[in-house]
Amino acid sequence: MAGSRKIAREFTLQGVYAWLVGGADITLIAANLQEDPQFKRVDEAYFRTLLYGVIKDEDLLSTRIALCLDRPIAELSPIERGILLIGAYELVSCLDVPWRVAINEGVELAKKFGGTDGHKYINGVLDKFAQDVRAVEIAHAKQAKA
């Protein structure tokens, strides 16, 4: 159900965005998102894992992401920040998701919801982040190609 995970990421981005912009209660945000008719296509367990995990770990994830940025994290748009938080969470906590998939899904979210060429920035930051948190997996992939 890979498509349902993609949709789960889209709904997670909406929830993280609402939380970053409005600071509303995450349980209320999740309940509102579940009312959307498209929500029935979501991998609901994965949606909950991402949404609650990103919000719970936001301080740590933001601190780690900030090391990969060319500007203060506060200068990112809420969409960019939300995408980076989701991608970083997947790279750190969802080890069943290959690092290339986590980066690509972030890029796809940026293409769909972000500004023009924002996907290039997302790609660069998540790639740099992955080099740190998934170093062993990346080294193994490069070794296998050689």
Contact 83, 45 (CB under 8 A): no
Could you tell me the residue range of the domain that residue 13 belongs to?
Answer: 2-145
Which helix (H) or strand (E) segment is 14 a member of? Answer: helix 2-22
Burial 49-71 (b: 16+ CB within 10 A, else e): bbbebbbebbeebbebbeebbee
Residues 38-64 have pLDDT tens digits of 999 999 999 999 999 999 999 999 999
| E-only strand ranges, 28-143 | none
Q: Is the pLDDT of residue 96 over 80?
A: yes
User: d(Cα 139, Cα 35) in Å, to the nearest integer?
Assistant: 43
Whether the predicted pLDDT of 1 surpasses 70? no
Q: Residue 17 maps to which CATH number?
A: 1.10.940.10
56: closest CA among 108, 93, 21?
93
71 pLDDT tier (thresholds 50, 70, 90): very high
* Contact between residue 132 and residue 91 where contact means Cβ atoms under 8 Å apart: no
pTM, rounded to two decimals: 0.93
> Structurally, how many domains does the chain consist of?
1
The alpha-carbon radius of gyration of the chain (Å, integer) is 15
Q: How many percent of the chain have pLDDT more than 70?
A: 98
